[in-house]
Amino acid sequence: MRADLALVGFGNVGRRFATLIDERRTRLRTDFDLDVRIVGISTGRHGATWNASGVDAATAVACAEQGRSLATLHPFDAPADSVDLIARLGRTPGGLRVVIETTVLDIHAGRPAIDHVRAAIAAGCHVATANKGPAAFAFAELRDLARAAGVSFLFEGAVMDGVPIFNLVRENLPAADIIGFRGVVNSTTNHILSALEDGDEFAPALARMQQLGIAEADPSLDVDGWDAAAKTSALANVMMDARMTPRMVKRTGLDEGSAGRARRAMAEGRRLRLVASATRTADGTIDASVEPVELPAGDLLAGLRGQANALVLATDLVGEIAICQLDGSLTQTAYALLSDLVTIRKRAASAAPLR
């Protein structure tokens, strides 16, 4: 079966996804009967391109890395913007039509990713995104729109890169309820806390994370807990039907005082970690928070150092389940999108009801 893809966003993740598709092309064909073709790409400031016969991924990546506009690739037929690109994909005949959304996260409202997901669904296209915004701000609405349109809305890469957390719950815990979770889900702050325990001061530890490309250029999204709050909101919305936004997550980040607190905790046999958690309260509402917590040294989350992340799910039927990620990478995030693509293919093969 042919799958035509439109890539909305072509930064680190979008480009790695494009090359990964090329690397796994044979495997996708033999294992899943999936013949993948990128037919269009759009960016924010670096133009857009369209070729119904297929855009060459390597050429597009080289163009983007040289800072040239993608519109130069097929100049007479370049889409005006992402909305135009998605509409064109919607008019493509036959096969699977999938929008791969990898634009930057807007922590205030989840735009423009939410608009791209809505446009994809309205055009009759499946959509997979690595952006936290849609699940963190508008999960229930987008899920319902996708169901009504008979298309998939998937976002495995939004939390913990390629670790299959949403797949695990959706596919492998049938009829069980998630009654809460707690985890370490932001790599930058975990790196900083590890460095503080090793004797670094806060400002140089943060600067080092930026030099290594681990922290954002504007690291306040990580340090103030916003990234973790967006992930908490997405997890609670998807796994616990929370209907919340990141602003509804109680949030305390790290600050200059964290160094002393991390070292004091360590000296007393505990570890300071930025813990994201959610629980269902007696009245049925969800209580969600992101805050530095001093954990006993034997706690699974206390043992996470550097880029390691972990999530502990509390369930009603199978007790607590933990899933760990020892390090993250762009390839893992790109893989999450590839796994979403395979999920879409499998659903098409089985005509499974869309969830």
Binding residues for ligand NAP, rule: CB under 6 A, are 8-14, 42-46, 82, 102-105, 112, 130-132, 157, 161, 330, 333
- Using CB positions, name the residue nearest to ligand NAP: 11
Here the tokens at position 180 are 């809460």
β-partners of residue 49 are 41
Q: Which is nearer to ligand NAP, 102 or 152 (CB)?
A: 102
Strands, sheet with 270-280, edge to edge from the N-terminal-most edge strand: 250-251, 286-296, 270-280, 178-184, 309-315, 320-325
Q: What is the nearest approach in angstroms of ligand NAP to the Cβ of residue 115?
A: 8
Decide whether 235 or 262 has the Cβ nearer to ligand NAP.
235
> How long, in residues, is the chain?
355
Residue 148 belongs to what H/E stretch?
helix 133-149
In the complex, least distance from residue 101 CB atom to ligand NAP, rounded to whole angstroms: 8
Smallest distance from the beta carbon of 43 to ligand NAP, in angstroms?
3
**3 state DSSP class of 194:** helix
Task: Give least dist CB 330 to ligand NAP, A.
Answer: 5
Q: Considering the complex, what minimum distance in angstroms separates the CB of residue 15 from ligand NAP?
A: 8
Q: In whole angstroms, how close is the CB of 221 to ligand NAP at the nearest point?
A: 9
Whichever of 42 and 186 has its CB closer to ligand NAP, that residue is: 42
DSSP category for residue 140: H
Nearer to ligand NAP by Cβ, of 46 and 247: the residue is 46
Nearer to ligand NAP, 163 or 288 (CB): 163
CB nearer to ligand NAP: give 131 or 325.
Answer: 131
The angle at the Cα of 282, spanning 280 to 285, to the nearest 5 degrees, equals 45
Cβ nearer to ligand NAP, comparing 25 with 46: 46
Q: What angle do CA 107, 111, 114 make, to 5 degrees?
A: 120
Q: Are 192 and 310 in contact (CB under 8 A)?
A: no
Which residue, 82 or 309, is less far from ligand NAP as judged by CB? 82
Euclidean distance between CA atoms 208 and 322, whole angstroms: 30
Nearer to ligand NAP, 130 or 195 (CB): 130
Angle, alpha carbons 76-82-85 (nearest 5°): 50
Of the pair 13, 165, the CB lying nearest ligand NAP is at: 13
Shortest reach from residue 160's CB to ligand NAP, in Å? 8
Q: How far is the CB of 18 from ligand NAP (least distance, A)?
A: 11
* Shortest distance (Å) from residue 88 CB to ligand NAP: 14
Distance CA 23, CA 20 (A): 5
From the number of C-beta atoms within 10 Å of its C-beta (0-12, 13-18, 19+), residue 56 rates as middle
In order, the DSSP letters of 272-327 are EEEEEEEEE-TTS-EEEEEEEEEEETTSGGGG--TT-EEEEEEESSS-EEEEEES-
Contact 209, 219 (CB under 8 A): yes
Minimal distance, residue 82 CB to ligand NAP, in Å: 4
How many other CB atoms are there within 10 angstroms of residue 148's CB atom?
10
Write the DSSP assignment of 71-89 as a string of letters.
GGTSGGG--SSHHHHHHHH
